[in-house]
Amino acid sequence: MQSCRFAFAVHVMAVLASGKSDCCPSSRLAQTVNTNPVVIRRLLIELQDAGLISTFRGPHGGAVLKRKPEKVTLREIHSAVDQGNVFGTHPNEPSQECPVGKRIGKVMLRIQNRANRALERELEKMTLADVLRELRKG
Amino acid sequence: MQSCRFAFAVHVMAVLASGKSDCCPSSRLAQTVNTNPVVIRRLLIELQDAGLISTFRGPHGGAVLKRKPEKVTLREIHSAVDQGNVFGTHPNEPSQECPVGKRIGKVMLRIQNRANRALERELEKMTLADVLRELRKG
DNA sequence: TTAAAAAGTAACAAAGTCTGTTACAAATCA
DNA sequence: TGATTTGTAACAGACTTTGTTACTTTTTAA
């Protein structure tokens, strides 16, 4: 299966950005995403490490955005929660006796890098503010 | 983990393209990729369905390219063996009571489509002939 | 006609990943 | 001091992926 962490993260960030409340606890985020609070907290840690949010403990604690939605790109959210490879590589080393097998690894790495960067470029074009606009449009 | 099918498929196509032999059996392909012949045969079926190769049974059977390497893009190879979503969506339906949860699905679909298309555009720029050139360069 | 070689296919095992869950420790506030 | 919330560890269940075995079907050639 594919990971849904990016979808969860965009959802969480959108809720925080449309925030009527200052601090949103993981329990509330979990309700709207429809998952377990621990799943959300694990996400929040990654978003926090990426500098996108802050979290606070204790009563009235929770998560808040550190930046305005216009200043948060989807690339930042993506790279915060998803390790960045679009597709996988050979799990076992190919035959070093075959001229293709001997060098395919390096070539695949270049292809991977180009694919990763293309994805990042596209995600860089979209901000959390764009997501909010789309949400309002319906 | 991520699927390595695309890497395997590019490897296989490169071997077929650099083909000293007309027909390459799955057993030989499996050797250079370093995996099991059945894994290769499953790939070959998908490449065949995509119109990129032909396979033949019986002695001296195996796989052959149907087109010249210059006419095969990496996008074609990719879409032949990888279902085309860069990242996953919510496994459980989000809360329909939350204004974000209610509409995030559609918005994520648009984001997904843009990401998928960006990846395809990049892979479309590279052909199997480019891969062969890179392999020779080292 | 028969034997050998190859793809096609089904069934299953093993490993890994991912989400979800429970439980508890640490921190914070009233 | 007690309530609330994050942080964190441990584990279960489901799913995906690769690899493996075994068998059928097709094809070639002796």
Return the CATH number at A59. 1.10.10.10
**DSSP assigned state of A18:** T
Q: What is the mean pLDDT of chain A?
A: 95
Confidence of residue A27 (pLDDT cuts 50, 70, 90): very high
The vertex-A43 CA angle with A12 and A126, nearest 5°, equals 50
Confidence of residue B134 (pLDDT cuts 50, 70, 90): very high
Helix, strand, coil abundance in chain A, percent, nearest 5: 60, 10, 35
CB contact under 8 A, A87 and B92: no
Closest chain B residue to the Cα of A14, Cα to Cα: B100
Neighbouring residues of B21: CB distance < 8 A, sequence distance ≥ 6: none
Give the helix ranges, DSSP H, for chain A: 5-17, 26-33, 37-49, 74-81, 99-124, 128-137
SS3 B52: coil
- Domain holding A45, by residue range, is 5-137
List the single range of A41-55, A68-82, A94-108, B79-93 with lowest mean pLDDT: B79-93
Residue B77: which of B20, B134, B17 has the closest Cα? B17
Structure tokens at A128: 């959390």
DSSP run (H or E) holding A51: none
CB contact under 8 A, B32 and A138: no
- Domain count for chain B, please give it: 1
Give which of B31, B34, B77, B100 to mutate to test A binding, by max A Cβ within 10 Å: B100
Closest chain B residue to the Cα of A19, Cα to Cα: B100
Res B21: pLDDT: 67
Rounded Cα gap, residues B38 and B60, in angstroms: 18
Give the residue-averaged pLDDT of B65-76.
97
